[in-house]
Amino acid sequence: MEEKMEEIEDRYTKIFDAYLHLQTESYEMITRNVAINNWMRDIYDRLKENPEMGIDEINDMWGDNFWKIYENLFSMFFRPFKVVTYPFGELMEAQPEIFTPESLFGIYSDFFRMFGESQLRLLKGFSDVFKGYGKEDDISARMKELLPLNLLRNMADEGNETYFEMLDKIFEYLGESQFLLPKTFFVNAHNFSAAYSKIYGLWRRYELMFRGVWEKSLQKLASWIDGNREAKFEEFFNTFRDIFSEEYDEILRSKEFIEAQNKIRDALTDLTGSAENMVEAQMEMFPVMPFAPRKEVDEIEKRVYNHKKISNALERRIADIEKKFDKIPDELNVLKKKMEKIEVKGEKNE
């Protein structure tokens, strides 16, 4: 038992050392590539063991391994989209049969409810500030109703009628409760929701392009294998690399891909911008939060930058003037010598 523990400890230390030692991205890619290498070798060994396999059988045999390779290869690029589209992606993969537009909307609203509740918990931390405005419970309830994301939930749970009633109520509150949440918060919450709902669809389309090329490349590799049964592992690996590179190069340069990439990037940028603006709006409303919002810090940075430009320009002008002054002693010496010569000439003439 003790030996086993030592082995575990030793293994842990070695891997942790490597983690600290390597660039984070290198650690990730090396880890993934150890697995990729072994899956490739497993595919190759099975091809060797069954030289009679036809193309369809080859495709069945290596499907799993190649999809694991695909996931590992692109995970670094896909991560931001996966994070943003969570939990849709996870749920879709887990139980695709139960998803209807209605159930999706339920998931969507649940997610926002969770988001809204986490905000509420944060707000409760500052509830003392509002005690002057009324009882704490009233304020929490009011705040909760004010969160626009809960509107969506109510729409899904209770139907449009309730939703419209709530909407009226909310707009009543908006008129009288400017001190709670500023307009910019609601505008940006709306923009945030709009961007968020766009991203999942865009992401699916973007990812399908990568999948499509992978499938096409796999077919090509299978055909190559069919005519090169005696190939060595390195040759097999290099052919995989060449075929897939060429196919991806073509799609990555295509108008269709660039359009999809730009759209998803724009949606992510909108989401980030709206989220930042929402946080800023919240910060501005809490007097107990002694932090300057981004836009104010930005203004300070701009002023500092402009002053620095002015001071640099002044510095350069002073240096130029100094250079001119440095030349004056030399010029004076020349003049002095000229004067001396004139004096000597004068004396001689006398």
Question: Applying CB under 8 A, which residues contact another protein?
Answer: 11, 14-15, 17-19, 21-26, 29-31, 33-38, 41, 69, 73-74, 76-77, 233, 237, 241, 244-245, 248-249, 252-253, 258, 261-262, 265-266, 269-270, 272-273, 276, 298, 301-302, 305, 308-309, 312, 319
Query: How crowded is residue 119: how many other Cβ atoms within 10 Å of its Cβ?
Result: 18
Least distance to another protein, CB of residue 270, Å: 8
Least distance to another protein, CB of residue 259, Å: 8
Give 20 or 328: the residue with its C-beta nearer to another protein.
20
Give 182 or 273: the residue with its C-beta nearer to another protein.
273
Q: Quick one: 151 exposed, middle or buried, by C-beta within 10 A (0-12, 13-18, 19+)?
A: buried
Hey, what are 309's tokens? 């430009």
Give 25 or 347: the residue with its C-beta nearer to another protein.
25
Least distance to another protein, CB of residue 258, Å: 5
Least distance to another protein, CB of residue 230, Å: 16
Give 41 or 82: the residue with its C-beta nearer to another protein.
41
Least distance to another protein, CB of residue 158, Å: 36
Give 211 or 241: the residue with its C-beta nearer to another protein.
241
* Cα 268-296-193 angle, rounded to 5 deg: 25
Give 37 or 223: the residue with its C-beta nearer to another protein.
37
Give 178 or 272: the residue with its C-beta nearer to another protein.
272
- 189, 149 in Cβ contact below 8 A? yes
Least distance to another protein, CB of residue 127, Å: 32
- 163, 256 in Cβ contact below 8 A? no
Give 34 or 342: the residue with its C-beta nearer to another protein.
34
Least distance to another protein, CB of residue 302, Å: 6
Least distance to another protein, CB of residue 16, Å: 9
CB proximity list for 280: less than 8 A, separation 6 or greater: 184, 293, 294, 295
